[in-house]
Structure 1
Amino acid sequence: MTDSLVFIGDGLTSGGRWDEWFPEFNVHNFGVSGETTDALLLRLQQVSELEPNAVIVQIGTNDVGWRRSDEYIVRNVETILYRLRKQLPDTRILAQSIPPRERDHVDVIRSINRHIRQFAPTLHAGYLDLWPMLADPDGEISEGFSEDRLHLNDAGYAVWLAEMKLALELLYETPTSTSVIPVQYI
């Protein structure tokens, strides 16, 4: 039986040719152009119903574009990850950073990514940081990876894909959860 991968997120996810890039998996691309964290929260049930082996989450850049606060976005991303873990306790989860975009969003995106990186392990989820590969030294997305400072071009997707392959290898080497240690009361 082939493992199933579900990709959820915004237009960056939607634009990926994940089924072509991961032919060894049964891939479902639930990326939606313009998707926000609020909208994704409303669609999580369709992901849970598939009972996939792994869920790959990349969301938040549209919230940043709408100028929502980093606290608001972090809370929603944490809720997404929490609900996925609760509904799919045996599924591998990979949370991804919000990729860089225009320079005026650098500080907010860095704040959000720091929180996601710290929170993901608490739910036994992996974390893939796309920032170092896609950003210029000033924090803006590298011109070579995007024509509009938001959407990825083929070179940007190639970088993401290379990192994704490594992240999936690590994700499949890690248990989906750990057993609960019973607490003894005296």
Structure 2
Amino acid sequence: MSTPVKTFPVWGFFLLITNGILMLSVILLIWRQQQLTTAFATTTSPAPVNLNNINRPVVSELGPRHKLNYRQWLDVLKQEATVAAAKSPQHLTIMAGDSLSLWFPPELLPEDRTWLNQAISGETSDGLLKRLDLFDQTQPETILVMIGINDLIRGVSDQEILANQRQILRYLRRNHRQSQIFVQSILPHGGEEATWEGKAKLLAIPNSRIRQLNEEIQKIATRQDVKYLDLHPLFTNKQGNLNQELTTDGLHLNPQGYLVWRTALQIYNNKQLAPQRQENQLGTSRERI
């Protein structure tokens, strides 16, 4: 009796093609922007926040902020959110999270939107959950959330991290009904090659645990009708650790790492906008008819 021939599932083939296209796009954009990378590596602190001109991106002054305590951080973010709410800039996009989001170079953020950075260095999922009301009065078109690595460093259980993630997304969905909400995967760390001062704490966190945690976060996003942006594969090397070419110390990102992140945001944004464009074009055609 002949052995049945196993066939490769169609969905698996489609997934391989999609990931291949994404990776190729990332590589091409990095290649095109190599000259920018050197410039950004030596860039000083970004210009102060200026919300008086709503045509300019909303960015935060990062220079002296590393000296602020947590209470002072909250006061600054509240002030910026209050100004953004008053100005109501077009295509407002909020970044909520920890130092990875905080240090996203404003020059590398996609130019077609107005940015409000509501991240705090060292932030945890519990901390973010408790301060989401700071930007309640804003009307963002998009909210990007990345949180969790500091929870792991501090020994918080997966159950508590996922419970906080669930509450964060539920809160945002309830209070920003017109916004597109994206939860982004937790990035891996550099493993043995990390040079961050808390390396021992990183090594206590298997990167396989981060992958499993991301799978659960994706399930939560699906159940809550929130978009999930899987950045993890774009930053991982063959060993499953954070790619050394994309990090400064095995935890934080260098300019090239932010180029990869920027590209993923651009590709996913274009992917989401495509159906809307088609619908608008269809509506225009109907009007002509």
Distance 1:100 1:23 in 2: 27
Q: Deviations over 1:31-67 (max 9, x none)?
A: 1110101110111112222121110001111111112
- Which of 100, 119, 123 does residue 35 from structure 1 map onto? 123
2:254 paired residue number: 153
Task: Using the TM superposition, name which of 84-93 and 12-21 deviates more.
Answer: 12-21
TM-score of the pair, normalised by structure 2: 0.57
Identity %: 30
2:113 paired residue number: 25
Task: Using the TM superposition, name which of 5-14 and 145-154 deviates more.
Answer: 145-154
Contact 2:190–2:244, Cα closer than 8 Å, also in 1: no
2:221 pairs with 1:120: yes
> Is the helix fraction higher in 1 or 2?
2
Q: Deviations over 1:122-178 (max 9, x none)?
A: 222111111111011222101111131100011111111111111222344578xxx
Distance 1:4 1:19 in 2: 16
5+ residue gaps, structure 1: 176-186
1:184 paired residue number: none
The one-letter code sitting in structure 1 at the alignment partner of 2:213 is I
Distance 1:10 1:56 in 2: 12
Q: What pairs up with 1:100-179 in 2 under 5 angstroms? A: 100-103=188-191, 104=203, 105=205, 106-172=207-273
- Which of 134, 139, 163 does residue 75 from structure 1 map onto? 163
The verdict on how the C-alpha distance between 1:174 and 1:117 changes in structure 2, with shifts beyond 3 A counting, is farther
Moved over 6 A (4+): none
1:96 paired residue number: 184
1:178 paired residue number: none
Quote the offset at 1:19 in angstroms. 6.6
Name the Cα RMSD after superposition: 1.8
1:12 paired residue number: 100
Distance 2:275 2:128 in 1: 26
Q: Deviations over 1:58-81 (max 9, x none)?
A: 111111111211111111111101
2:136 pairs with 1:48: yes
Distance 1:15 1:147 in 2: 12
> Is the strand fraction higher in 1 or 2?
1
Contact 2:108–2:258, Cα closer than 8 Å, also in 1: no
Contact 1:136–1:142, Cα closer than 8 Å, also in 2: yes
